[in-house]
């Protein structure tokens, strides 16, 4: 307990030092005013963490980040967004997430008002994408979007499972490695991308069969249920289940519970992978029950501030592409130690966002990898001082 | 057959109504047709419903399979159960189960346990862009109970409706059959019953124009015809077809109403029983057609001579009845009867010949209140009998004496069989003597009836009764047998020379077997037939000349002698004396009784004697009671005599005794007997 208190104290001190340092650095340039309309709810881990990394980056990059929460109501989100656009004192940038395509009217209003916008995590899709085209074409003020490459994440997760199964020789009597996929849903782009990654990986491995792609609505309990059903079915089919691919961590945790209930030992005769870098997942990784959790996309919040800072300072990310796709990373037992605490404590001020800014002449080129992140971290105990 | 018997026989054959029979014949058929039709329709409907249910459940299974495919494939077993549960809203479904591709039941819902369960199973196919697999199958168990219940319910309904329809039909049939069949039949039956009751032909009251109307018309026409026939028949039954007068049957009816028709019980009713005398002679003489015409004449005269209130009937043959329903006294009645006789006696022309009809009338007069009124014909008949036997052509009025005579006659007639059976008839014998020597040369057998109540009855009284009762032959044989026995005894007593005469009634002369019997009887007693003499009367010769002649010849050939009895009283035909084989003539005592005082009688007897002498016939004088008569006869030349002077009729024992004693009449003391009527 005393150690924990001390760590907190140290982080607080470090923040104070860094903030003052940032302020000094930004004094030369214009201080930015950024508003983020969050589609999520207060307390919703992902969007909270997105906002937190935004704020942390803002403090490092002289940007004032105002977070408005829609509470998962797209009407609220539109009202909030339109309200911001209509302000007399307009912000420099408005960050939106196009969940349920609710951001489009706000984008159009911002265009009219001359407020620059950036889409985060969810960009335009379908009809909207066709109608409005790429960023800065129809909507000049829509600067671009920043998203995560979840398909690659899905494939990476699957490949980790396959590699382990092959190594452990968890083939079924038919000689195939049998995997269960648990997706969040079948319609949101975020889910589709992940699932596509699984399919890519499985298709590439002839010795792998994805027995089922089940959907558990992102929830732990439903995942537990479908996993239990799958395990029962597999037993009847005399299939040896080698791994369970879960589209997010809660579903991975549900799968773990079902596995245990079925009398199997995760990590020993079956592996589970998840996504989200959630605390519970990290605990399970630490316990050796979860193979990995991919993710880190909550850092999009911080990275978006980096992009806008560079843009404001004249280094336009669109020089590479107005669409920035950030790769996610997997946390395994191997690298758990370096980021585990960061996530657990949400001490995002430890991240030196200035180090991620594009180098002069290389506008639009960013390294948002886990390694880069790890190397950017200040010591938690405030050794960096 | 008596009434109760008929009822007893008729009772088991209960009257079966046509209407009821029709209903019994049609209703079961109707019911059966209804039942079969309902059952057929219902069976078709039932199978159709079963097929529909099968198809519906199959559709349900298929649609559920589609719904379930995804959750099943995606192992959302709770959703599978949810979807499956919705199936149970269908109440025919008893249970449902979803099996995955391993065959394990993923979801199972049971609504209700049921016995009659059919099952249907369908595969659950899951397909998406990439795959198409059979994820499992769905099985639905469903029950036909509702179909059964529906069918049962409808069947019951149809049954009830059918029964109601049948009932309605029955009622309608009953009503219409009653109207169209029952009523006309009843009307005809009623007409028949009424006709049966009083013998008249009643029409049936039916006005419909259908077959029954026609039947009724035909029936009524028949009734009309029958009515006429019945009237004629009734008239014929109660009337004499020849004269058109009421007949005996009418008389019976008339007698029943006679008392009621009379003004008071003391009203005197005159009943005349008329019998034509010698109507047979008219028939024989003029033929039966003339006889019929004669009867018609008589009936017309009777009709003309009576008052409107009088009543004339012909009872048959030559018998007529005239009833005068009210007379002041018996004398008036008698006057009336004599009027009738006078009317009848007017000459009638038959075959251009004048015939004077003669009749006898028995008159009975009785009070209307007399309980014996219905016996009037019998009473009048008594009087008539008297008139006919005593004084033909007169009116005899019934009185006490006549009735007494009648009762005695009736008693005697009834007692004849007992008389024979108990040997009450006795044969006495009266001697015939040689008038010269006074020696007995023969005996005449005379019959007597020793009646237990009426004492000894002479033949004059009972012989007509014997004849009427048809016992003549029996009596003749009785006498013949007795006579033969007597001859035997006479022979035994040393007098085989004495012959016995027996009287033959006229009817016996027509009996051809008489000669044979006579011979047989003589043989039985070992006596010669020549010792027998057969006495006949002229009357018996006249009635059947040929037959009598033949019988007499036969008898004579046997050796018997024939005597003509009572000569002089009847026809006294000389021709008879010549034509028939006679040996002897017996002069009737009527000629003897006045001799010697009557010179005429002497002359007659003298003529007869000389005639007999010429013809070679022996003469016998009957009824000699005094010696001078015997003397006179001897003088005339009559050789034999018979009478109280010589012998009274006596039982054989007395005769034998007399013959032995050789004493003539002084010692013969016969019992006091009635005077001789016969012979």
Burial class (CB in 10 A: 0-12, 13-18, 19+), B512: exposed
Helix-, strand-, coil-residue percentages of chain B, each rounded to 5: 55, 20, 25
In DSSP notation, B101-138 reads TTS-EEEEEE----SSEEEEEEEEEEE-SS-EEEEEEE
pLDDT-based confidence at B348, cuts 50/70/90?
confident
In angstroms, the Cα distances linking B410 to B365, B402, B423 are 22, 12, 20
Average pLDDT score over residue span A91-115 = 93
3-state secondary structure of A245: strand
Average pLDDT over residues B262-286: 86
pLDDT tens track for A39-84: 988 888 889 999 999 999 999 999 999 999 999 898 999 999 999 9
The pLDDT of residue B120 is 92
Does A212 contact B77 at a Cβ distance shorter than 8 Å? no
Q: What is the pLDDT of residue A140?
A: 94
Contact B636, B609 (CB under 8 A): yes
Whether residue B647 is predicted with pLDDT greater than 50 in this model: the reply is yes
Question: Which two tokens mark B141?
Answer: 């168990």
Whether the CB-CB separation of A101 and A78 falls below 8 Å is answered with no
- Chain B hits for A198, CB-CB cut-off 8 Å, are none
Rounded (5°) CA angle A45-A49-A55: 150
Percent helix, percent strand, percent coil in chain A, to nearest 5? 50, 20, 30
**B57 pLDDT more than 70:** yes
- Per CB-CB distance under 8 Å, the chain B contacts of A222 are 76
Looking at the predicted structure, is the pLDDT value of residue B3 above 50? no
What would the two tokens of residue B316 be? 């048959």
Spatial separation of the C-alpha atoms in residues B382 and B436, rounded to whole Å? 49
pLDDT range class, residue A235, cuts 50, 70, 90: very high
Output the pLDDT for position B576. 74
**Within an 8 Å CB–CB cutoff, is residue B73 touching chain A?**
yes
| A209 touching chain B per CB within 8 A | no
What does each C-alpha distance from B517 to A322, B485, B506, B541 come to in angstroms?
Answer: 180, 15, 17, 21
CA distance A226 to chain B (A): 6
Q: How sure is the predictor about A18, in pLDDT bands with cuts at 50, 70 and 90?
A: very low
H-helix segments, A205-269: 220-236, 249-261
CA-based radius of gyration for chain A? 22
CA distance B75 to chain A (A): 6
Mutate to test the interface with A, among B75, B78, B80, B105 (most CBs of A within 10 A): B75
pLDDT for A332 equals 93
Q: Which of B221, B225, B227, B187 is nearest to B207 (CA)?
A: B187
Q: What is the pLDDT of residues B407-434, one digit of tens each?
A: 888 888 888 888 888 888 889 999 999 9
Q: Which pLDDT does position A15 carry in this prediction?
A: 42
pLDDT score recorded for residue A19: 42
Q: Do B100 and A233 touch (CB under 8 A)?
A: yes
Cα(B50)–Cα(A172) distance, integer angstroms? 48
Rounded Cα distance between B301 and B304, Å, is: 5
pLDDT digits (tens, 9 = 90+) for B375-384: 888 888 888 8
Average pLDDT over residues B60-87: 89
Q: Say yes or no: A170 contacts chain B, CB-CB below 8 A.
A: no
Strands B311-316 and A93-96: unpaired
Least confident of A102-106, B9-13, B668-672: B668-672
pLDDT band at B7 (very low <50, low <70, confident <90, very high): very low
pLDDT score at A300: 94
Residue B196: Cβ-neighbour burial (10 angstroms; 0-12, 13-18, 19+):
exposed
Q: Given CB atoms, is B131 within the 8 Å cutoff of chain A?
A: no
B577-608: pLDDT as tens digits? 777 888 888 888 888 888 878 888 888 888 88
User: In the prediction, which pLDDT does A383 show?
Assistant: 40
Asked if pLDDT for residue A201 goes beyond 50, the answer is: yes
Rg (CA), chain B: 56
Mean pLDDT of chain A: 88
pLDDT score at B394: 87
Most confident of A172-186, B17-31, B442-456: A172-186
Q: Quick check: B327 and B336 in contact, CB under 8 A? A: yes
* Partner residue facing A229 (CB), from B75, B101, B103: B75
Asked if B197 reaches chain A (Cβ–Cβ under 8 Å), the answer is no
* B77 interfacial to chain A (CB closer than 8 Å): yes
pLDDT at residue A67, as a whole number:
96
Q: Could you give phi then psi for residue B320, rounded to 5 degrees?
A: -130, 155
d(C-alpha B316, C-alpha B246), whole Å = 10
What's the pLDDT at A2?
Answer: 46
Per the CB < 8 A criterion, the answer to whether A66 and A36 are in contact is yes
**Share of residues in chain B with pLDDT > 70 (%):** 94
Q: What is the pLDDT of residue B18?
A: 73
Please identify which residue in the block is written with the tokens 């997997």: A330
Q: Which of A232, A238, A247, A258 to mutate to test the interface with B (most CBs of B within 10 A)?
A: A232
Task: Give the strand pairing for B584-587 and B561-567.
Answer: parallel
C-alpha to C-alpha distance for A177 and A164, rounded to whole angstroms: 10
Least confident range of A120-134, A369-383, B502-516: A369-383
Contacts of B133 in chain A (CB under 8 A): none
Between the alpha carbon of residue B163 and those of residues A138, B38, B173, B570, B590, the distances in Å are 87, 11, 15, 102, 108
Alpha-carbon B587 to chain mean position: 51
Of residues A230, A236, A237, nearest to B75 (C-beta) = A230
pTM of the model: 0.52
Q: Which two tokens stand for residue A258?
A: 């079902």
Q: What is the pLDDT of residue A380?
A: 57
Instruction: Give the confidence band of A265 by pLDDT, cuts at 50, 70, 90.
Output: very high
pLDDT of residue B16: 67
Residue A194 CA to residue A177 CA, distance in Å, equals 20
Asked if the model's pLDDT at residue A358 lies above 90, the reply is yes
Provide the 10 A C-beta neighbour count for residue B173: 18
- With tokens 């989100």, the residue in question is A77
Sign of the Cα torsion A157, A160, A166, A168 reads negative
Average pLDDT of the residues in B76-95: 87
Other beta carbons within 10 angstroms of residue A55's beta carbon come to 22
d(C-alpha B589, C-alpha B624), whole Å: 7
B219 touches chain A (CB under 8 A): no
Residue with tokens 């021709």: B575
Which residues 298-357 on chain A approach chain B with CB closer than 8 angstroms? none
Could you report the per-residue pLDDT of B447-506, keeping only the tens digit for each? 989 888 888 888 888 888 888 888 888 888 899 999 999 998 888 888 888 889 998 888
CB spacing of A225 vs B73 below 8 angstroms: no
**pLDDT given for residue B677 in this prediction:** 37
CB neighbours of residue A44 within 10 Å: 16
**pLDDT band with cut points at 50, 70 and 90 for residue B542:** confident
| Contact residues for B118 (Cβ-Cβ < 8 A; gap 6+) | B54, B57, B141, B142, B143, B144
Q: Which pLDDT band holds residue A3 (cuts at 50, 70, 90)?
A: low
How many Å lie between the alpha carbon of B67 and the closest alpha carbon of chain A? 16
Question: Would you state the pLDDT for residue A11?
Answer: 46
Contact at CB, B102 and A237, closer than 8 angstroms: yes
Q: Dihedrals φ, ψ of A303, to 5°?
A: -65, -35
Looking at residue B14, what is its pLDDT? Answer: 60
Q: A232 contacts in B (CB within 8 Å)?
A: 104
The residue of chain B nearest to residue A229, with distances taken between CA atoms, is: B75
Q: How confident is the model at residue B612 (pLDDT cuts 50, 70, 90)?
A: confident
- If one counts every other C-beta atom within 10 angstroms of the C-beta of residue B340, the result is 25
Average pLDDT over residues A222-239: 93
Q: Does B134 touch chain A (CB under 8 A)?
A: no
Whole-angstrom distance, CA of residue B542 vs CA of residue B564: 13
The mean pLDDT value of chain B amounts to 84
CB A339 within 8 A of CB A331: yes
Which residue has better confidence, B316 or A78?
A78
Chain B contact present for A230, CB below 8 A: yes
Helices within B131-200 (DSSP H only): 145-177, 183-198
Main-chain phi, psi angles of B663, to 5 degrees:
-85, 145
Tokens matching residue B616 = 């070679």
**Which of B75, B100, B103 is closest, CB to CB, to A214?**
B75
Residue B672 pLDDT level (bands cut at 50, 70, 90): very low
Residue burial A242-255, b: 16+ Cβ < 10 Å; e: rest: bbbbbbbbbbbbbb
> In this model, does residue A257 exceed pLDDT 60?
yes
Q: Do A229 and B104 touch (CB under 8 A)?
A: no
Structure tokens at A307: 């992009």
- Strands A292-295 and A323-326, sheet pairing: unpaired
Interface membership of A225 toward B (CB under 8 Å): yes
Q: Which residues contact B308 (CB under 8 A, 6 or more apart)?
A: none
With an 8 Å Cβ cutoff, are A214 and B104 in contact? no
Determine the pLDDT at residue B663.
Answer: 42
Neighbouring CB atoms inside 10 A of B468's CB total 12
pLDDT, position A6:
53
pLDDT band at B675 (very low <50, low <70, confident <90, very high): very low
Looking at residue A87, what is its pLDDT?
94
The rounded distance, in Å, linking the Cα atoms of B524 and B487 is: 12
Reading the block at residue B285, the tokens are 């003489």
Chain B residue whose CA is closest to A183: B74
Whether residue A212 and residue B104 make contact (CB cut-off 8 A), yes or no, is: no
Interface confidence, given as ipTM, is 0.75
C-alpha closest to that of A62 among A21, A12, A16:
A21
Q: At what angle do helices A279-287 and A249-261 cross, to 10 degrees?
A: 40
The pLDDT assigned to B11 comes to 45
Structure token digits, residue B659: 């013959």
In this prediction, residues A230-242 reach a mean pLDDT of: 93
Rounded Cα distance, B602 and B608, in Å: 10
Report pLDDT for B604: 84
Give the CA diameter of chain B: 186
Q: Which of B69, B74, B128 to mutate to test the interface with A (most CBs of A within 10 A)?
A: B74
Average pLDDT over residues B92-103: 90
Question: A236 and B73 in contact by Cβ < 8 A?
Answer: no
Task: Note whether B126 contacts A: Cβ–Cβ < 8 A.
Answer: no
- Confidence at residue B567, expressed as pLDDT on a 0 to 100 scale: 81
Residues near B255 by beta carbon (within 8 Å), at least 6 away in sequence: B373, B374, B376, B377
Closest C-alpha to B310, from B349, B283, B339, B348: B339
Do residue B102 and residue A226 have CB atoms under 8 angstroms apart? no
Contacts of B449 (CB under 8 A, 6+ apart): B412, B419, B424, B425, B426, B456, B457, B459, B462
Q: Is the bond preceding residue B619 a cis peptide, omega within 30 degrees?
A: no
A36 has pLDDT over 90: yes
Q: Tell me what pLDDT residue A267 has.
A: 92
pLDDT of residue B1: 40
- Beta-ladder partners of B427: B447
Residues of B in contact with A215 (CB under 8 A): 74
pLDDT given for residue B611 in this prediction? 83
Q: Quick one: pLDDT band at residue A13, thresholds 50, 70, 90? A: very low
B281-293 core/surface letters (b: 16 or more CB in 10 A; e: else) = ebbeebeeebbeb
DSSP track, B496-516: TT-EEEEEPPHHHHT-TTHHH
| Weakest-pLDDT range from B194-208, B231-245, B267-281, B523-537 | B194-208
Q: Does residue B596 have a cis bond before it (omega within 30 degrees)?
A: yes
Under a CB-based contact definition with an 8 Å cutoff, are residues B444 and B655 in contact? no
Nearest to B76 among A226, A233, A236 (CB): A226
Task: Say what angle helices B459-468 and B400-421 make with each other, to 10 degrees.
Answer: 70
In tens, the pLDDT along B105-154 reads 989 988 877 776 889 999 999 988 778 999 999 999 988 888 888 888 88
């Amino acid at each position: 307990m005393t150690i924990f208190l001390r760590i907190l104290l140290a982080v607080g001190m470090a923040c104070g030092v860094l903030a003052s340092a940032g302020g000094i650095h930004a004094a030369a340039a214009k201080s930015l005013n950024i508003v983020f309309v969050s589609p999520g709810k207060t307390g919703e881990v992902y969007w909270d963490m997105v906002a937190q990394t935004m704020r942390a980056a803002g403090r490092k990059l002289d940007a004032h980040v105002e977070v408005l929460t829609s509470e998962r109501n797209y009407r609220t989100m539109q009202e909030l967004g339109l309200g911001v656009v209509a302000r007399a004192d307009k912000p420099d940038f408005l960050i939106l997430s196009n969940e349920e395509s609710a951001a489009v009217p706000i984008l159009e209003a911002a265009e009219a008002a001359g407020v620059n916008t950036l889409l985060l995590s969810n960009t335009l899709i379908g009809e909207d994408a066709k109608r409005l085209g790429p960023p800065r074409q129809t909507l000049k003020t829509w600067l671009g979007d920043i998203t995560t490459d979840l398909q690659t994440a899905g494939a990476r997760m699957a490949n980790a499972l396959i590699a382990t199964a092959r190594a452990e020789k968890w083939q079924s009597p038919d000689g195939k490695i049998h995997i269960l996929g648990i997706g969040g849903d079948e319609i949101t782009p975020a889910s589709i991308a992940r699932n596509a990654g699984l399919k890519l990986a499985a298709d590439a491995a002839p010795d792998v069969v994805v027995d089922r792609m089940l959907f558990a609505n992102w929830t732990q309990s439903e995942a537990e249920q479908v996993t239990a059903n799958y395990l029962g079915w597999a037993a009847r089919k005399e299939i040896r289940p080698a791994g369970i691919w879960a589209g997010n961590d809660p579903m991975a945790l549900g799968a773990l519970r079902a596995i245990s209930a079925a009398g199997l030992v995760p990590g020993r005769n079956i592996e589970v992978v998840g996504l989200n870098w959630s605390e519970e997942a990290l605990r399970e990784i630490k316990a050796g029950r979860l193979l990995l959790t991919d993710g880190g996309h909550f850092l999009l919040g911080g990275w978006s501030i980096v992009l806008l800072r560079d843009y404001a300072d004249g280094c336009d990310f669109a020089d590479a592409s107005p669409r920035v796709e950030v790769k996610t990373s997997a946390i395994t037992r191997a690298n758990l130690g370096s980021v585990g605490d960061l996530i657990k404590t949400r001490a995002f001020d430890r991240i030196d966002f200035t180090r991620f800014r594009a180098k002069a002449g290389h506008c639009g080129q960013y390294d948002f990898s886990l390694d880069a992140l790890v190397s950017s971290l200040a010591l938690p105990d405030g050794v960096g001082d | 057959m008596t009434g109760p018997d008929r009822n007893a026989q008729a009772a088991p054959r209960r009257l079966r109504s046509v209407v009821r029979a029709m209903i019994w014949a049609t209703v079961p058929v109707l019911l059966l047709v209804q039942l079969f039709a309902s059952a057929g329709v219902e069976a078709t409907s039932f199978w159709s419903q079963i097929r529909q249910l099968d198809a519906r459940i199959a559709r349900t299974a298929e649609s559920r399979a589609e719904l379930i495919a995804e959750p099943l494939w995606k192992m959302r077993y709770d959703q599978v159960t949810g979807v499956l549960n919705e199936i149970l809203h269908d109440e025919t479904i008893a249970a449902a189960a979803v099996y995955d591709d391993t065959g394990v039941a993923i979801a199972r819902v049971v609504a209700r346990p049921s016995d009659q369960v059919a099952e249907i199973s369908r595969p659950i196919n899951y397909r998406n862009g990439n795959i198409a697999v059979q994820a499992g199958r769905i099985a639905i168990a469903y029950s036909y109970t509702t179909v059964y219940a529906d069918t049962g319910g409808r069947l019951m309904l149809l049954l009830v409706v059918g029964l109601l329809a049948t009932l309605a039909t029955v009622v309608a049939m009953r009503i219409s059959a009653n109207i169209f069949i029952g009523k006309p039949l009843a009307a005809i039956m009623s007409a028949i019953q009424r006709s049966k009751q009083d013998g008249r032909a009643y029409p049936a009251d039916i006005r419909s124009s259908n077959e029954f109307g026609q039947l009724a018309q035909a029936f009524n026409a028949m009734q009309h015809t029958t009515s006429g026939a019945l009237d004629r028949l009734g008239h014929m039954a109660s009337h004499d077809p020849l004269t058109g007068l009421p007949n005996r049957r009418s008389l019976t009816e008339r007698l029943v109403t006679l008392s009621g028709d009379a003004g008071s019980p003391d009203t005197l009713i005159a009943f005349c029983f008329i019998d034509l005398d010698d109507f047979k002679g008219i028939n024989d003489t003029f033929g039966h057609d003339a006889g019929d015409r004669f009867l018609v004449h008589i009936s017309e005269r009777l009709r003309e001579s009576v008052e409107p209130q009088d009543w004339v009937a012909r009872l048959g043959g030559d018998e007529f009845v005239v009833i005068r329903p009210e007379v002041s006294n018996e004398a008036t009645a008698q006057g009336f009867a004599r009027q009738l006789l006078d009317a009848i006696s007017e000459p009638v022309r038959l075959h251009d010949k004048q015939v004077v009809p003669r009749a006898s009338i028995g008159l009975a007069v009785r009070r209307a209140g007399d309980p014996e009124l219905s016996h009037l014909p019998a009473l009048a008949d008594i009087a008539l009998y008297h008139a006919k036997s005593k004084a033909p052509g007169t009116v005899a009025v019934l009185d006490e004496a006549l009735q007494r005579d009648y009762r005695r006659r009736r008693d005697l007639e009834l007692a004849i069989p007992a008389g024979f059976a108990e040997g009450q008839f006795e044969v006495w014998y009266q001697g015939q003597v040689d008038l010269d020597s006074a020696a007995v040369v023969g005996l005449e057998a005379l019959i007597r009836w020793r009646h237990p109540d009426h004492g000894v009855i002479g033949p004059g009284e009972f012989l007509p009764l014997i004849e009427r009762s048809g016992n003549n032959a029996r009596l003749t044989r009785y006498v013949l047998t007795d006579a033969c026995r007597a001859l035997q005894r006479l022979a035994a007593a040393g007098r085989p020379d004495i012959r016995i005469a027996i009287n033959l009634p006229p009817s016996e002369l027509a009996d051809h077997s008489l000669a044979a019997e006579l011979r047989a009887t003589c043989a039985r007693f070992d006596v010669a037939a020549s010792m027998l003499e057969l006495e006949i009367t002229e009357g018996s010769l006249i009635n059947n000349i040929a037959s009598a002649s033949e019988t007499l010849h036969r008898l004579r050939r046997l050796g018997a002698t024939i005597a003509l009895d009572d000569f002089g009283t009847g026809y006294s035909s000389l021709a008879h004396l010549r034509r028939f084989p006679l040996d002897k003539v017996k002069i009737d005592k009527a000629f003897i009784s006045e001799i010697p005082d009557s010179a005429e009688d002497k002359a007659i007897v003298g003529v007869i004697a000389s005639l007999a002498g010429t013809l070679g016939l022996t003469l016998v004088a009957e009824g000699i009671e005094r010696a001078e008569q015997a003397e006179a006869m001897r003088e005339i030349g009559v050789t034999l005599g018979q009478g109280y002077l010589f012998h009274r009729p006596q039982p054989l024992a007395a005769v034998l005794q007399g013959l032995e004693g050789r004493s003539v009449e002084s010692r013969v003391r016969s019992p006091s007997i009635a005077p001789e009527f016969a012979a």
